[in-house]
Structure 1
Amino acid sequence: MSTYVIGDLQGCLTPLVQLLEQIQYRPEQDKLWFAGDLINRGHESLETLRFIKSLGDNATVILGNHDLHLLAVSHGFGTLKRGDTLTEILSARDRDELMDWLRQQPLCHYDKTLNTVMTHAGIPPCWSLEDTLTFAKEVETKLKSDTVDEFFATMYGNTPNQWDNTLTGLDRLRAITNYLTRMRFCDKNSKLDLKSKEGINTASKGYAPWFNYPTKLPEDCHIVFGHWAALEGKTQQDRIHALDTGCVWGGSLTALRLEDRQRFSTPCTINRKKS
């Protein structure tokens, strides 16, 4: 049995099918992890969502910022942006079923046997593994609750931009969500810069990629994440693995086999310009 972590799909089902053929995916034996952002920007968002859902227990899915954006819009909050490819999902006959399934997915997944933790954007330097799992669960509980609308109504925003254990209510949930699904750069105190979005060398003064700071996770624990296509899959850290290699922007789709850390990739079949 093998476990493969796959980076941001963003509605690119055709490359995913090609990648699964390349790794000779065996449904009866292998497991697939998806590092969030299943949909949006690509032209097969609805088909991608349906396919991942159809994998059942073979797929472990975490939510990314695009997935949360879809959920918020489906609940009447947020607005579609230029370049979004979510309309087909929102008008689909099985929309409610898909949205209910998506809302049940976590923001973090940890496998003790593989000693690997997966979030969409990473883990801030100020959090331990226990912190990460606990804080993610707070948001997950809210997403599954009858009061989820108040979360979506206040989900968007860049503040609070620094973690404080005394944060409460919806501000606390927004901060947790931003760390787990939007983070790229932070300072030594884990204060976020959510405006800089390009490569490592574009950090504002006093900020650096979150993975350049010492982590509070156990020394042998690996982190897998997506979200940051400009990294091109490189962190220069032995146990921190970036998997968004920009498939939707004309790059490639990447899978990491956790048992031996071998990477596989397939070229994108479209060339979409950023908007």
Structure 2
Amino acid sequence: MGWPEQKKKINALNLFHSAIKGDTSADGIASQGFKLVGTFLPVPDNRNNVFTRPEFTFYSGDTIIFVNVEPDGRVTEEHRRRAEDYQRLNLEAVEEFIRKKGRANEVNLSARNLNHFEHHLIFDKDVVESAKAGGPGADIYDDTKNKCGILSQSRGGQLLFEDGLSQDDLFYSIVSDGVNLPSTPSKEFLLTGEIKPESLAVSLAQEILPGQFTYNETVKMTPRRVPHYYERDIDLDIVRKSLEYFRHRGVCDDIGKYEYSFSREDISKLYDVEEHLRETTVQEYLESQGGKQSSMAEYTE
């Protein structure tokens, strides 16, 4: 998955997130009884040999809502398999997940009254309309809607329940009425759930470094420091690849053992990064430049 696909995913995540807080009205999901437990949180079920990682998890006391946002241009086998994984998930595994999480957004989480969880897939409005009309993926769509809820979303439109399973009356009411969505959602997400070096490089170039240049003429980075900007765990090999990509592109200077210096004077080069990654990946570019591969043991602060 190259940068164009990653960008579609990030845009879809940000659009859905605007439905949580209600960017365009007071009809946001969070204001109507569902608290966001977290994003990209793993929910394993060892007994049934299934591992799920919903992109959004909501809690209302007696119900858990799992959501995955799909930016793909059609409904595929992967979506059906994802829905099947959540069908195999046991309520006891969900209860254990809630107990371990404990708190979310200053709210105590309790599994005492938890009696239900459900899963929803969210597609672009055009994808759902095409599948309903018998277009690409129509047969898979018809099967998938028997395994989960299917919602649609569109910029300047609504988050709307379209088909499938939804047992929680309150959540069903919210998404059946529709949640208004903005034409330009705010940037809450800079990275996908499965972090790739392309999205990391673009977000560093467009968001993190320009923000740092507000206060500093130069910014120094090491692979171990980068995850702190995002408050997420990031594989250090992915970070190193992104920083080495910058070095080979002349965006920064190599000033020590895995330490890089960025200058405000080179900000125009940073904004060229996205355009360059539309046609290649970080790995492909490093290989073309003879980019060195190093072991994790070499990383230093």
Q: Which has the higher contact order (CA 8 A, sep 6+)?
A: 1
What TM-score results when the alignment is normalised by the length of structure 2? 0.26
Work out which of the two has the higher radius of gyration on C-alpha atoms and give 1 or 2. Answer: 2
What TM-score results when the alignment is normalised by the length of structure 1? 0.28
